[in-house]
Each structure stands twice: as C-alpha cells, then as structure tokens.
C-alpha cells in the first residue's frame, strides 16, 4: 500500500488550557489533513492557533471540526437541538476557524463534524441539513467529509457541495456502516496491526469486516484516525512502514 495513494485525516487540536491530550506534532508527518477542534468539544484559542501553525509548517490540509456544545462530554453525547439553532452553532465554529486560519495566512480546506454530531448527521436529515446550510453560508469553497452511505452525504450532494467520502481506520463498523458504540468493548481499534489490516481492506479491496462478523462494501477517499486514540502514532507508523516496504 502506497502512502502516496492514501489520504489520511486526523482529529487534532483537542488539548484545552493546561490539559495536554496528545502530541499533535508527532502525528503530522504521517497524515494528509487535520480536523481542528473549534472550542465546543475541545480546544481553545491558543491551542487552535498553535495547531494551525503546525499544520501550515507540515504542509497539512486544514479542516474545521465543529461539535455539539459539549466540553464536559468531549462532544460525544447526542444533544436534541433544533435545526435552526444547530445551523448557527456550526456556522459560528466554522467561521471562527476560517478567521483563525486566514490570519495565519493559511487556507481552510474542509469541514468534518465531530463525534455525536457526525454520527447523528449520518442518520438524521435535519441535523445533516443544518450542517450543510451552515457550511455554505460561510463559504461555498469548503469540502465536507461524510460517509458515502449517509444522509449527510445526500444533503451535501443535493446542495452541490464537494464531498470527500470518509471511512475510519480505528473504529469498528456495524452492518449498516454506522460506527459501533464506544461503549462496546473493542469498538475502538488500538492494535496497530488490526488497524492497518482494516485500512488496507477498505482502501485496496473496498470492504470492511463488521462487528457482526460480516463483510460489507465501503467506499472512501479519505481515512480517519482519532488523535486521542492512545495508539494513533503506532498505527500511523505501521501504515507508513507497510507503504515503504
């Protein structure tokens, strides 16, 4: 597998104040794009600015990573928010990231919703619609990351938005291609060999093994690894080593 042929994105900038979550700089040499937390589930102005500067220095594509307003739950708790209000919440975050990137003389390339917001947008049309509307109001030039078989993808395509279809390196799937709940043991893949096998199957063969032990077709242009996965660096190094061999 050639690392020149695979586009890997990573959720980053998720430290906050005095709390250092991961070493983003160590991960950047192995990825193509970063999704920077906008302050609603993690990150703060100092962390955002630092992460943008690191991404520019490493030549990494920069994306906004908006979330539900859920710092305590790290954006991984579903919230019942009306479509109009959610549109403003997402628009606020993307606008702030666009401004921060611009003042660092960089370019904001894409938007990838975070956590529970992402998962709900896959199956809930009002949530998906709110995200698409928010992004379009900020800029028509932004690309959206979304799973191929999702309402989020449908809404973006209907709005003539550019979409990069995404799959996950370090998460287990259900048969309907939703992500298995983090509450289920083994749903987060921390074994580097297992993670590498999954991305090879998806990227080169177009399918994934689900938690229900089935083989399901998947299409993707970009592959995500979570920066807060304690094995993220090990996984990325395994993928890189395989590509170089």
Whether 3 contacts 219, CB under 8 Å: no
Tell me the domain boundaries of the chain.
Answer: 8-244
Q: Which CATH architecture has domain 8-244?
A: Alpha-Beta Barrel (3.20)
pLDDT digits (tens, 9 = 90+) for 199-245: 999 999 999 999 999 999 999 999 999 988 989 999 999 998 755 43
What's residue 3's pLDDT? 45
Tokens representing 155 are: 């809404």
Parts of the chain with a pLDDT under 50: 2-4, 244-245
Kindly report the pTM of this predicted structure: 0.93
CA 41, 177, 237, 230 torsion-angle sign: positive
Q: What is the number of other CB atoms lying within 10 angstroms of the CB of residue 8?
A: 22
């Amino acid at each position: 597998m050639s690392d020149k042929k695979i586009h890997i994105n990573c959720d980053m900038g998720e430290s906050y104040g005095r709390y250092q979550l991961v070493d983003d700089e160590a991960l950047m040499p192995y990825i193509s794009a970063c999704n920077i937390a906008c302050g609603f589930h993690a990150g703060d102005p100092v962390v955002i600015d630092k992460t943008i500067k690191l991404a520019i220095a490493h030549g990494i594509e920069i994306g906004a990573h908006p979330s539900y307003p859920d710092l305590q739950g790290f954006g991984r708790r579903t919230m019942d928010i009306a479509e109009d209000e959610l549109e403003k919440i997402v628009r606020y975050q993307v606008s702030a990231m666009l401004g921060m990137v611009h003042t660092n003389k960089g370019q904001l390339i894409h938007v990838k919703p975070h956590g529970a917001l992402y998962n709900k947008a896959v199956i809930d049309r009002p949530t998906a619609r709110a995200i698409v509307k928010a992004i379009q109001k900020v800029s028509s030039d932004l690309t959206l990351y979304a799973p191929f078989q999702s309402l989020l993808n449908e809404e973006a395509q209907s709005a003539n938005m550019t979409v990069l279809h995404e799959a996950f390196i370090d998460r287990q799937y259900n048969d309907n291609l939703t992500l298995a709940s983090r509450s289920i043991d083994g749903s987060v893949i921390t074994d580097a060999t297992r993670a590498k096998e999954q991305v090879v199957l998806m990227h080169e063969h177009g399918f994934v093994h689900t938690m229900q032990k089935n083989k399901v077709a998947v299409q993707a242009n970009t592959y995500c690894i979570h920066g807060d996965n304690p094995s993220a660096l090990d996984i990325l190094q395994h993928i890189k080593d395989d590509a170089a061999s």
